[in-house]
Amino acid sequence: MGAMKSALIIRHVPYEGVAGFRAPIEEAGYAVDRIDVTDPAFQTIDLALPDLVVMMGGPMGVYDREEFPWIACEIERLRRRLVADRPTLGVCLGSQMMAAALGARVFAGPTKEVGFAPIRLTEAGESSPLRHVADIPLLHWHGDTFDLPEGAEWLAKSHQYRHQGFRRGANLLALQFHAEMGEDPRIEAWIDGGEAMIAAAGTTVEAIRADHDRYGSQAVAAGQAMIREWLIGLV
């Protein structure tokens, strides 16, 4: 048997982990490790080395570089990985990091998008792994967005935001939505720290919890199917 492949999960805050995506990544033969951006060791890691890098979400924005000095360093090292076309998955803030590393503009959007809602696929999205999550209510939790990077395929949109996903080739996939969340108890940490954002989005804590109970398992199952297909297609 050959050596196991390596997967590195980058956490921008401790409560936004790989969640439901862990199972398909491990099933695909990856040994999963993780690191928080606040760990001093993060600054020295060569992000081009792991066989797979998964960049998770966080409440900060790509443009908050003075408050979070690690952002510029992370984007620069991520850029080298993406130029080398190394398998990379970005979720929410992670997708925005990927867009920035590919030279696209990342900026505050016109509204907060929080809660469970379906995405709509583009023509390219219908033939992509995102077909597994089409028309299924998925968790959204953001207020930032990005322009489509040069050379990337636009895959999905929502009622409120045009860019919900893109890919470049087989190896780079960026998802604005959270198809990994729906069964992870850490959703309570999102809610406890997100009351203002929930209110700004025009919803309520009670509605978030009710939809999490109603749609969460279906969303995670669909997200896992999406990631399984994507991992199979890596080159």
Q: What's the CA gap between 131 and 110, in Å, rounded?
A: 27
Q: Tokens 């081009």 correspond to what residue?
A: 48
Query: Which residues, at least 6 apart from 235, have a Cβ–Cβ distance to it below 8 Å?
Result: 169, 170, 171
Q: Is 17 exposed, middle or buried (0-12, 13-18, 19+ CB in 10 A)?
A: buried
Q: What amino acid occupies position 158? A: S
Domains identified in the chain and CATH numbers: 5-232 (3.40.50.880)
Q: What's the CA gap between 93 and 83, in Å, rounded?
A: 19
pLDDT, tens digit, for every residue of 66-121? 999 999 999 999 999 999 999 999 999 999 999 999 999 999 999 999 999 999 99
pLDDT, tens digit, for every residue of 7-16? 999 999 999 9
Instruction: Enter the tokens of residue 81.
Output: 């990985």
Q: Tokens 């696929």 correspond to what residue?
A: 121
171 contacts 87 by C-beta, under 8 angstroms: yes
Instruction: Enter the tokens of residue 235.
Output: 């080159």
pLDDT, tens digit, for every residue of 163-197? 999 999 999 999 999 999 999 999 999 999 999 99
Q: What's the CA gap between 164 and 175, in Å, rounded?
A: 6
Q: Residue 47 — very low, low, confident or very high, per pLDDT cuts 50/70/90?
A: very high
8 contacts 33 by C-beta, under 8 angstroms: yes
Instruction: Enter the tokens of residue 86.
Output: 């190394």
Per-residue model confidence (pLDDT) at position 3: 78
Q: What amino acid occupies position 27? A: E
Instruction: Enter the tokens of residue 98.
Output: 């990927």
The contacts found for 199-208 with CB under 8 angstroms, 24 or more apart, are 200/111, 200/112, 200/114, 200/143, 201/111, 201/112, 201/113, 201/114, 201/115, 203/114, 203/115, 207/115, 208/114, 208/115, 208/116
